[in-house]
Structure 1
């Protein structure tokens, strides 16, 4: 008998990853709204929830699992939908406790204060920096994703300029996030903060990384640590790389910190990823944020190195099964997701053709290329961009080791031909 699995925020790339998994043999994956139907010029939390419920209600068959691997609103819709259809789920409160950056920081301070930087809630209408947070700092909405409207600032002038940009764009996520908060019994201080305020926090330094894991039958399991490497002199990501190059003792400390905070939150039957910084000079660890989901950006990295994508953990948990993921059983010793970016505005005159992309993937084995722009795009008008750069393509590469992966990426860069007109 087929197992009906509904994928909230469906996209073709992840559909291919899902269908190749061992647990997918008896599964039928049904798109439950596409990525484009959920994210657009506006996000309507109520409309998306209603549309998803309408589609599920009209389905003539069993609803065996509902899964998703994207940030808000997908991550927050999952517990609402799973509860409605009698499926196992963590509570909505536990998920929002992670999603709301101010609420999350307050909880972190109670449980693992030693890795939490000074922070403060900020009214975006005020231009005055908080007294108890020192520069350099980051200022960001209490809910954002993909580093959208997150600014690193070094002085009051930059702080005020960042807030001006945040005020112009905070409603895109803030308004639907406020709609979500209406479904949660909030503590008074979080109720007062709402979804359209900001968090200021002192900057963390060192090597950035992500811990991925899940909770099953009360046990918090860590299955991988990924390095996040930026472009030189930029906060924009150049690549995610697995396995991590961190010393084993540091990995052990990160795992223990992650177990402590996830145990305090709950998240039973959920995957998670937690972003940290480790400063090799001082050996200090700082926690950046907690996400109540695994990272779909890491799926092919785990498949290449461990032999199974992290989507497998998500699916098995949704079906009430122990994930029990393999370790170092993949085809490659190392893997990375590279972000091909441009740092100046421009208009796309030409992107590589499907045939050209296929040829590069054939010539450079272990490579998957996903273009994120199209002919005619004005880079500064694209959505879902960080504050410092514009995405052109995602490039997934598996290789023997870090050096081999980097060498393959240089081959891909040389072969992919974009024509971009400068904008003055």
Structure 2
């Protein structure tokens, strides 16, 4: 047993365990779960203090050597890792550098220090302030603009604001639900040394930002011993006329010069932040008409959604990055050694306000489709009898009923395969609210 590296994964589930066990060097690793996966996947209620105590108790009870503590999820997992790693002497970035990415106001402030022309105008506001709209205008932001919490997860509680009525509707939703993340995020902030102006803007605040848009993409990268490495760019393509994602595609179809500029900006901002020995991904927009790049946001982890894409195209899940860095090693990530030239994750969605699911595709139907399209993985996100409004981590405009990962020889084949497959996914609904 002493020959193995013990790697503890916060929120480890069976799906990701199977991926981790296929990584390079995995025969020398033992993966252990810390905190049950349902505590971070199947709820929107997080007690960070309790979770930290539970994780600490589990880790202290382990009789072997703790070689790495890692995670592959956004909040609350990402924000707990620096605290746990510091307690147990394992490798990751500092809590302050992580918060310079995840605290959206602090992040914009430090981005503005080095790449001001690539970020939108922004301001923080208190959604419980009845004069917030006036304050936003005084900060130089006018309709339309976008609002979101200081710390959010996925696309939850993000709204485009075109009119005062839009703003008051968004504020009503924010006041009702922001505490679900604000309260646990504030628990994390108590562990950090914050500048005074940042400390005053806690998790209960929101951001208002100038509208940016264009071709959206995500650069996946890491920092090892101060060296910033960007190893892949994934395109994020939306459904026509709406904000909801249609699919993620790798490798990117962006022009080479735009990809080169994205990598340059990434190096600049991550070096300035002082982020180190951890994975990250940064979302950008390329406004093709104005030939202008915008940095949207920084995430302090690999994207789970991209794991299968890297495996299909490069030969191994980019969870390789997470594990290698957690062990203090330079990542051993292959390049273009996979079975497909292009990979994608599709989001099969309905654009209802609400409904009850009365039928989902059977296991036999799913298996038949996966056999017909080799390399395809279909993961249903709903069950019969479920009300769509009970689904966690949804955007404000649609519900994702299934995730579909697939690969192909080119984009034409990729889209044709998805359209054929999606047309045979038989969901049925009752009590539909359109």
TM-score between the two structures when normalised by the length of structure 1: 0.98
For residues 253 and 374 of structure 1, what CA distance do their matches in structure 2 show?
44
For residues 91 and 9 of structure 2, what CA distance do their matches in structure 1 show?
16
Equivalent residues in 2 for 1:35-50 (5 A)?
Answer: 35-39=37-41, 40-50=43-53
Aligned residue number for residue 373 of structure 1: 382
Among residues 14, 17, 32, which one is paired with 1:15 in the alignment?
A: 17
Is 1:108 the counterpart of 2:111 in the alignment? yes
Instruction: Show CA shifts across 1:12-36 (max 9, x none).
Output: 2222211111121211111112331
Aligned residue number for residue 395 of structure 1: 404
For residues 412 and 21 of structure 1, what CA distance do their matches in structure 2 show?
29
For residues 56 and 355 of structure 1, what CA distance do their matches in structure 2 show?
41
Out of 355-364 and 105-114, give the one that drifted further.
355-364
Report runs of 4+ in structure 1 exceeding 3 Å deviation. Answer: none
Q: Give the aligned CA root-mean-square deviation in angstroms.
A: 1.2
Among residues 156, 159, 166, which one is paired with 1:151 in the alignment?
A: 159
- Residue 41 of structure 1: CA displacement? 4.5
Among residues 355, 361, 373, which one is paired with 1:346 in the alignment?
A: 355
Instruction: Show CA shifts across 1:390-422 (max 9, x none).
Output: 110110001111111111111221222112224
For residues 62 and 312 of structure 1, what CA distance do their matches in structure 2 show?
21
Aligned length: 424
Conservation of the 8 A alpha-carbon contact between 2:68 and 2:90 = yes
Instruction: Show CA shifts across 1:343-395 (max 9, x none).
Output: 10110112112222111111111100111111111001222111111110110
For residues 309 and 142 of structure 2, what CA distance do their matches in structure 1 show?
37
Conservation of the 8 A alpha-carbon contact between 1:305 and 1:328 = yes
- Residue 324 of structure 1: CA displacement? 3.8
Among residues 277, 290, 302, which one is paired with 1:294 in the alignment?
A: 302
Equivalent residues in 2 for 1:190-339 (5 A)?
Answer: 190-339=198-347
User: Secondary structure of 2:200's match?
Assistant: helix
Aligned residue number for residue 127 of structure 2: 124
Aligned residue number for residue 7 of structure 2: 5
Instruction: Show CA shifts across 1:117-146 (max 9, x none).
Output: 000011101354211112221101100011
User: Secondary structure of 1:229's match?
Assistant: strand
Segments of structure 1 that go 5 or more residues without pairing to the other structure are none
For residues 117 and 161 of structure 1, what CA distance do their matches in structure 2 show?
23
Among residues 388, 410, 413, which one is paired with 1:404 in the alignment?
A: 413
For residues 153 and 322 of structure 2, what CA distance do their matches in structure 1 show?
20
For residues 191 and 19 of structure 1, what CA distance do their matches in structure 2 show?
41
- Residue 239 of structure 1: CA displacement? 0.5
For residues 106 and 41 of structure 1, what CA distance do their matches in structure 2 show?
28
For residues 207 and 394 of structure 1, what CA distance do their matches in structure 2 show?
22
Among residues 354, 364, 380, which one is paired with 1:355 in the alignment?
A: 364
For residues 8 and 361 of structure 2, what CA distance do their matches in structure 1 show?
33
- Residue 112 of structure 1: CA displacement? 0.7
User: Secondary structure of 1:391's match?
Assistant: strand
- Residue 423 of structure 1: CA displacement? 2.6
- Residue 178 of structure 1: CA displacement? 0.7
Conservation of the 8 A alpha-carbon contact between 2:220 and 2:231 = yes
TM-score between the two structures when normalised by the length of structure 2: 0.96
User: Secondary structure of 1:46's match?
Assistant: helix
User: Secondary structure of 2:35's match?
Assistant: strand
- Residue 277 of structure 1: CA displacement? 0.3
Conservation of the 8 A alpha-carbon contact between 2:324 and 2:332 = no
Conservation of the 8 A alpha-carbon contact between 2:186 and 2:203 = yes
Out of 105-114 and 124-133, give the one that drifted further.
124-133
